[in-house]
Structure 1
């Protein structure tokens, strides 16, 4: 959320990405010329940074005062000035308020659309010195990013970067992520820090929101990867066509130099036809027309192995460090992207196979129990179906899922997600995810309606438990040796948003605690019987 949508609070920690230590001062007149607007006075103070958040302003910054849903960034121009802003970028609606600060004002019709390019200019086009791989798609972005990072590390060691949903990394330093793709001002600053610290290559997730809202403006990826497309974010996009067109923006010369596309996906096949940059294709299903294919796939409970068949007779033995056919696709996407980026495919495959795991993506929770317990981020219908099918293949006993749907998000997926859980699991415990401002029971009612629509002979046992911790405990209580318990929807997240209040909640910790309590209970009961 930009500052234009959120009033400031004294208790809030100053947000914003890390900043480079050294920045060439840029005269505001130089920025005005780039924008095609009237230059400020010649003696105006130079600009040494940029931010869209008045609370994160540092001395010498260009403050981008953007219009928002509830507030206009120009409302906070006085605070930006007090913190040392050198100039203000805004639209005609904010120009008068910005000018009242006495700072130079650069006025354009759509400041958000110019912000990324200005940020890149202010920080000296830092992305140009980095090998950049961007990933888009509905599912698998995070996993593919970690797998690509593994391949990059096989060549560049700790001189690699990662930007994504779970975290950002600068070498071995970890930074918390507020969103999948940072705002353009923060992104370019992060690129500049990476360059300053000797980073040579990076991988990042590129969301459809980021493409539509200009968060990657000023960045040109050496390789852009498309994983797949299925209904998601329908509260943001007007429909699947709008969603596809947003993703397709990444495959234009303005955004990337080369594309890597999954042709097992129908939208991927369309993208191959419509891409404006050269495309290399891949298929985890062994499609003969693909440039890179997965063959002889063997899936196991912890990982999968396969043979990569590539151009010119290339054949490489490879492995996905996570189970499931969809992770074979993610691993193949990573190997293909790394090869297109100029990395030896064998080295790439070894780096991918060596990745120890991905936070919240089929992440095992092992407290000594005689059954498999995993946490996964699956929060859309196709992802829930994929992970349940993958786990079914490695589960000798019963399969239990704990699942909810997020509030203030796409309502159309709630019924289908409930149906998928009821159809593919032996027990579906429907619960709350992040209800946000919605009534949790209303969300569960929609999920339950979907589950009820599954024919009785195809439907597993369905339980409704609004309290997520209690729901996890319910699934654990049902688990027997050789069963699998899947807690889905939140993955790596460490909080639960209920009525606008984010409370600490980590599925991995709650699941582990439930397993430990369940294991202790029989022993306690036995001790009591002997009294």
Structure 2
């Protein structure tokens, strides 16, 4: 079953929770969350069937969590929650001031509603008693691809799987659109309970720094947590790289995870592996890194991707390959493989699955997605400096060919990375075309100018031969890139990946980089892969 357009957020919510709930007494829910009943007393505690932080998506039988927001308090909207079927409300002391004197549902108070939300959801949905085995992947880049690879390996081993991430949530072939990279804790516990009902045995999940900061993965226990890398991103939330790192490090504690696999090829990964509070295996792309538990060796080109061997210091090894371009995809593939092994998979069974099914070559929408091969034309989600550099280095033009990049930067996000992204593009590409990404509410022209200024600075001091263009709208920029290309060139359209609409001043404009790139290639007489 594929749910493409489930309708309103309230209708979507039905897919994020189990079916035919028996219900849990409100007093039991309060006990799990440390909430204290207050106000009018009711003869019987209602049976709670679900949990919601948003009054607009409350389902009949829910406990509504009235949380303090950035501008309004959720308790102000208790009437909406009740009209949608809420049977009880849990809020904080500030929320009590917004409640009517006479309320038709019981009320409980807790000090911090957001912190209590996961415990409430766990109690209602029973995820402490029954949940699939969970794999968590965190890091700046590579989370989506690594989770897709984990799922593919597990399916090659014969397991029924689920996936929770940026592109999709899925369970045994049922796909629904993702709400966030990681849903709210209430939705996350609900969807995991639904997967358990469907006998899903393992779920691979992206865990963002936002989800850790906001407690969205609280009250879950991951069997294996994986770390990809840490580079500048999300400093609008974290302020400093140290805070960003410390937020990620929360995942590698007994509160969240039982074991870990950590890529140690950046300083943060090495530090994380050294200080992790749970059993941790280290992994490196450097075959000479004698400190790593696992190393990638015997690396060789295999089509657009690579074949390689994973070697443990104890002598164990696994031979495999990935068809996805770039050394970063070797890292993603290696991490996914070792994480599955760390979960208890048998080495011989895993090797047979890798050989028979080639799971590490799984196609990931908008992640190094090859649209054409002459010229090489690729769409990728790279939206920060490190990812952009690695994506550009991974596309290989033919003899005397050029690298052409089309990219922008998201509005209302970390502005400090924009000049550096421009400089990185100029250093790694021969033709740089700056355009719009998702401006959101920010004027697009200054964003492009900041990117272009960074690129021009690198051109003036390092790469005088690099050509720079500033072109909008984005579809025009993509077509312009193809108009410049020859068959031996390589084109990268970066930043948006799988996304199919562009947010311009709050208006969703239909735009799919893969479609635009394919159409432009056909317009100029090139053959595409579809």
Name the TM-score, length of structure 2 as normaliser.
0.92
1:292 maps to 294
The answer to whether the Cα contact below 8 Å between 1:132 and 1:203 also exists between their aligned partners in 2 is yes
Distance of 2:32 and 2:398 partners within structure 1? 58
Residue 328, structure 1, aligned to residue 326, structure 2:
no
The CA deviation at 1:302 is 1.9
The answer to whether the Cα contact below 8 Å between 1:146 and 1:355 also exists between their aligned partners in 2 is no
Residue 458, structure 1, aligned to residue 466, structure 2:
no
Residue 312, structure 1, aligned to residue 314, structure 2:
yes
Q: Which among 107, 110, 113 is matched to residue 108 of structure 1?
A: 110
Q: Which among 127, 131, 136 is matched to residue 134 of structure 1?
A: 136
Residue 387, structure 1, aligned to residue 391, structure 2:
yes
The answer to whether the Cα contact below 8 Å between 2:397 and 2:403 also exists between their aligned partners in 1 is no
Within 5 Å, which residues of 2 pair with 1:176-255? Answer: 176-255=177-256
Residue 21, structure 1, aligned to residue 27, structure 2:
no
Distance 1:305 1:77, change over 3 A: same
2:147 maps to 145
The CA deviation at 1:110 is 1.0
Q: Which among 377, 380, 383 is matched to residue 373 of structure 1?
A: 377
Residue 425, structure 1, aligned to residue 426, structure 2:
no
Report the 3-state secondary structure (helix = DSSP H, G, I; strand = E; otherwise coil) of the residue aligned with 1:236. Answer: helix
The answer to whether the Cα contact below 8 Å between 2:229 and 2:268 also exists between their aligned partners in 1 is yes
Distance of 2:182 and 2:398 partners within structure 1? 34
Distance 1:419 1:300, change over 3 A: farther
2:478 maps to 472
Distance of 2:209 and 2:292 partners within structure 1? 25
Distance of 2:397 and 2:483 partners within structure 1? 22
The answer to whether the Cα contact below 8 Å between 2:397 and 2:488 also exists between their aligned partners in 1 is no
The answer to whether the Cα contact below 8 Å between 1:262 and 1:282 also exists between their aligned partners in 2 is yes
Distance of 2:23 and 2:400 partners within structure 1? 64
- Unaligned segments of structure 1, at least 5 residues: 1-9, 521-531
The CA deviation at 1:120 is 1.1
The CA deviation at 1:301 is 5.0
The answer to whether the Cα contact below 8 Å between 1:300 and 1:394 also exists between their aligned partners in 2 is no
1:6 maps to none
Distance of 1:384 and 1:27 partners within structure 2? 51
Distance of 1:97 and 1:374 partners within structure 2? 53
Distance 1:98 1:196, change over 3 A: farther
The answer to whether the Cα contact below 8 Å between 2:161 and 2:201 also exists between their aligned partners in 1 is yes
Kindly report the root-mean-square deviation, in angstroms, between the aligned alpha carbons of the 2 structures.
1.9
The CA deviation at 1:233 is 0.2
The answer to whether the Cα contact below 8 Å between 1:251 and 1:259 also exists between their aligned partners in 2 is yes
| 1:222-251 Cα distance to aligned partner (Å, 9 max, x none) | 000011111100000020111001000001
Distance of 1:38 and 1:356 partners within structure 2? 49
The answer to whether the Cα contact below 8 Å between 2:51 and 2:65 also exists between their aligned partners in 1 is yes
Report the 3-state secondary structure (helix = DSSP H, G, I; strand = E; otherwise coil) of the residue aligned with 2:389. Answer: helix
Q: Which among 489, 492, 501 is matched to residue 495 of structure 1?
A: 501
Aligned length: 508
| 1:413-455 Cα distance to aligned partner (Å, 9 max, x none) | 1001111111111101000000001111110111111011114
Distance 1:118 1:406, change over 3 A: same
